[in-house]
Amino acid sequence: MLKLFASIVLLLVGASPALAASGSGTALGVDQSARLEDKQGAKTLVVGSDVFIGDRVVTDAKGLVQIRFSDRTKLVVGPRSSLVIEDYLLRDDGSGGKFAINALSGTFRFITGGAPKDRYQITTPTGTIGVRGTAFDLNVHPDHFSLLLFHGAVEMCNKAGKCVTVDDFCDVGMADLSDARLLGNTDSFVGAERTSMRGMFPYAVSESDLLGTFWVAQARECLNRAVVPNSTDAGGGSTDSPPPNRGGNDNGGPVTHIP
């Protein structure tokens, strides 16, 4: 089995931190509600755990995994989520091979690293995401997937070959079995729709659950800006006033921070 060189960072939720060093990276904490499934069966992810091609990462209602790969790609696997590492090749000369993950269900954050941008590919049950050097949050369901873009650009395609390009800050795209489309900028969502968006992309609301290196500059502006519907103000109907990052876990329960 090919080894996937990565640093696994498991955010601690409701337990005492454990610190250790790892030959493949540094793990700053462990949450026992995350596990890794391979050909030998399932095991709890622990400090210093290595990830291999073909491994599945699974979290429960409080699980959270933050992975840093050797090309500096960063991946967050949120609560109630599952993904498979399908391929990862980084050559000795530093050039990128193919970075491929299968996001099966749940919430994710993806930040590209140093590999060539056309080598990234994310698969979901209903389509694929082509990445062009970017940062975004992803929400995956069995019948559709949605994406909130922060930087760069992505191409979302469903299995029928219908595609849409998302390339503007705070834009939201969605793809299902019948279509792929741009839903609009987060400033266009108000009321119940905006509430739904905040639930779909929790890390754009609060990054307090994430280590600082997994934060994205200005990401919280997308869903924390005050939006005034049907405003005739010269300012365009919205005020940029993001509140400070609040503590607490958006999935419920207290958060214990790792030093």
pLDDT for res 117: 79
User: In a 3-state reduction of DSSP, which class is residue 118?
Assistant: helix
Predicted model pTM: 0.79
Give the residue extent of every domain in the chain: 3-239
Supply the pLDDT for residue 141: 97
Give pLDDT, residue 104: 97
Q: Tokens in use for 225? A: 């800006």
Residues 219, 136: Cα–Cα separation, whole Å = 9
Predicted local distance difference test score (pLDDT) of residue 183: 97
pLDDT given for residue 249 in this prediction: 36
pLDDT of residue 133: 82
The per-residue pLDDT for 74 is 87
CATH topology for 3-239?
Jelly Rolls (2.60.120)
pLDDT at 98: 77
The ranges of the chain with pLDDT < 50 are: 11-30, 91-96, 231-259
**Coil, helix or strand at residue 188:** helix
Angle at alpha carbon of residue 220, lines to 218 and 223, rounded to 5°: 125
The pLDDT assigned to 14 comes to 39
Position 227 scores a pLDDT of 67
